[in-house]
């Protein structure tokens, strides 16, 4: 009788142990992803600037940005609006191109909505969906989240943390969405962007960046400023892996 009871308790303990192990292995809030991960570089190192592109990918525009970045061997960061990945499977391929080129792919949420007005559950759903789609598209799990419109509060930061994401905004807005023409963007960025900055740009304004971006990059390179991606410490290693990627070969 006592032996049976002991066996039953041992079995119960085993079940509880397995459940706890499963929880630890699947929960990003409790597992090693946040607890033991190396610090994420959310700022460029001294002497460097981080170019960031929001709202994409767009089949017609993201490739324009990628071509310019490849021309100067500049690594950047793309904050993906994940609803775009749900439109057509072909858009997954653009994410693969961004990753293969050595850029950082991060989250800009799912539906591009103003999150501070939403309930905690909705915010969590938005972020989780963006993570799932970005990973499904072949990118590493994002480590940073840029809220749409820069809209953040304590709840947004807290939910992001639970999901292993750090909220990253910007220090210089390229004003591409406001100026909508290259001369103004060039003038604005040459006056305001430099080492230490995180620059906000948008994929869909590639017609502006087609002209503006090379001028800005060349000017900063002449000043000795380096270009870095943020939020993805492993990407540089991937970029220069011996196996390499076809995208790294001269185009
Ligand atoms: Zn946006």
Q: What is the mean pLDDT of residues 161-186?
A: 97
Q: Ion ligand 1 — residues with CB under 5 Å? A: 54-55, 148
pLDDT of 128 > 70? The answer is yes
Q: Tokens for 54? A: 């929001």
Q: What is the mean pLDDT of residues 123-129?
A: 98
We find that the CATH architecture of domain 40-233 is: Alpha-Beta Barrel (3.20)
Q: Are 24 and 31 in contact (CB under 8 A)?
A: yes
Q: Which of 63, 76, 70, 62 is nearest to 232 (CA)?
A: 76
Residue 23: pLDDT band (50, 70, 90) is: very low
CA of 80 to the centre of ligand 1 (A): 9
Percent of the chain topping pLDDT 90? 74
CA of 151 to the centre of ligand 1 (A): 10
pLDDT of 245 > 90? The answer is no
Distance CA 180, CA 205 (A): 7
pLDDT at 228: 96
Q: Which of 142, 112, 116, 106 is nearest to 28 (CA)?
A: 142
pLDDT at 9: 54
CA of 137 to the centre of ligand 1 (A): 19
Residue 204: pLDDT band (50, 70, 90) is: very high
- Domains of the chain, residue spans: 1-32, 40-233
CA of 112 to the centre of ligand 1 (A): 6
CA of 55 to the centre of ligand 1 (A): 5
Q: Which of 19-23, 29-33, 34-38, 129-133: highest mean pLDDT?
A: 129-133
Q: What is the mean pLDDT of residues 129-154?
A: 97
pLDDT at 209: 96
Q: Are 100 and 245 in contact (CB under 8 A)?
A: yes
CA of 54 to the centre of ligand 1 (A): 5
As a whole number of Å, the end-to-end CA separation of the chain is: 76
Distance CA 73, CA 105 (A): 17
pLDDT of 73 > 80? The answer is yes
Rounded mean pLDDT of the chain? Answer: 84
CA of 89 to the centre of ligand 1 (A): 21
- Strand blocks (E) in the chain: 48-54, 77-80, 104-107, 144-145, 166-167, 172-173, 198-202, 226-227
CA of 148 to the centre of ligand 1 (A): 5
Bigger pLDDT: 88 vs 179:
179
Q: What is the mean pLDDT of residues 26-42?
A: 56
Q: Are 137 and 92 in contact (CB under 8 A)?
A: yes
pLDDT at 90: 87
Q: Are 75 and 229 in contact (CB under 8 A)?
A: yes
CA of 108 to the centre of ligand 1 (A): 7
Whose structure tokens read 């032996």? 3
CA of 14 to the centre of ligand 1 (A): 48
Q: What is the pLDDT of residues 91-115, one digit of tens each?
A: 999 999 999 999 999 999 999 999 9
CA of 198 to the centre of ligand 1 (A): 15
Give the number of C-alpha atoms closer than 13 A to the C-alpha of residue 196, restricted to the C-beta side: 2
pLDDT at 156: 98
- Residue 151 CB partners (closer than 8 Å, separation 6+): 114, 115, 116
Bigger pLDDT: 217 vs 32:
217
CA of 9 to the centre of ligand 1 (A): 54
């Amino acid at each position: 009788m006592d032996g049976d009871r002991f066996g039953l308790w041992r079995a119960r303990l085993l079940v509880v142990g397995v459940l706890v192990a499963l929880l630890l292995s699947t929960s990003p809030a409790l597992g090693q992803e946040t607890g033991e991960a190396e610090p994420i570089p959310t700022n460029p190192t001294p002497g460097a600037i981080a170019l960031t592109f929001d709202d994409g990918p767009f089949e017609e525009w993201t490739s324009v940005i990628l071509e310019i970045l490849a021309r100067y061997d500049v690594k950047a960061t793309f904050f993906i609006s994940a609803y775009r990945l749900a439109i057509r499977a072909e858009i997954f391929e653009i994410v693969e191109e961004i990753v293969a080129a050595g850029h950082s792919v991060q989250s800009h949420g799912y539906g591009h909505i103003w999150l501070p007005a939403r309930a905690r559950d909705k915010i969590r759903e938005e972020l989780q969906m963006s993570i799932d789609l970005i990973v499904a598209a072949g990118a590493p799990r994002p480590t940073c989240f840029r809220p749409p419109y820069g809209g953040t509060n304590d709840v947004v930061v807290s939910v992001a943390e639970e999901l292993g994401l750090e909220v990253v905004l910007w220090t210089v807005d390229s004003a591409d969405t406001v100026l909508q023409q290259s001369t103004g963007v060039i003038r604005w960025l040459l006056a305001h962007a430099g080492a230490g900055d995180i620059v906000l740009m948008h994929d869909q304004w590639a017609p502006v960046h087609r002209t503006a971006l090379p001028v800005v990059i060349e000017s900063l390179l002449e000043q000795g400023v380096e270009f870095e991606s943020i939020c993805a410490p492993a990407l540089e290693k991937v970029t220069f892996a011996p196996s390499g990627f076809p995208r790294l070969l001269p185009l």
